Amino acid sequence: MLIVLVLEKKWYEIARFDHWFERGMSHTKASYTMREDGDIQVVNTGLKDGKIKTSTGKAKRTDQQGLLRVSFFWPFFGDYRILWLGDDYQHALVGGSDSGYLWILSRTSTIDLSIKNSILSEARRRGYDTDKLIWVEQ
């Protein structure tokens, strides 16, 4: 049920750790849509060098609450873990299977300072080095 509630709208990427597949990108967003086969279509978009870049992948739900197995490069899958979710489903902290991946997501292109501080505190509590976050231009 949690995954379905999280999927309802577009997410803006507020901050992220640096990765080759998003390096130099701004205005990044993620959209999750249920597919007829029960899997989830993942569409990531962003601007790089003035051009819109799109990456489409597929996610599979798991028996573990808040865990998706995501593939943008079949047959390779990675874990997306919902580490923290705001009470109103407007903000999320998402990590990978290790501490090398981290995203702060929001339903809006900006977040309030109090929400930002809560999310950063949770990330630090979980052992993430929040000094490595890149704050995304939206």
pLDDT in tens, 50-88: 999 999 999 888 888 888 898 888 788 889 899 999 988
Angle at 65 between CA 63 and CA 68, to 5 degrees: 75
pTM score of the predicted model: 0.89
DSSP H helical ranges for 1-136: 2-6, 113-125
Q: Class of the 2-135 domain?
A: mainly beta
Q: What is the pLDDT of residue 2?
A: 45
- C-alpha 41/C-alpha 56 separation (Å) is 7
Residues 6+ apart with CB under 8 A from 47: 25, 26, 27, 28, 53
Q: What is the pLDDT of residue 7?
A: 56
Regions of the chain short of the pLDDT cut 70: 1-8
* Single-letter code of the amino acid located at 131: D
Question: With the CA atoms of 136, 19, 103 and 81 taken in that order, what torsion angle do they form, in degrees rounded to the nearest 10?
Answer: 160
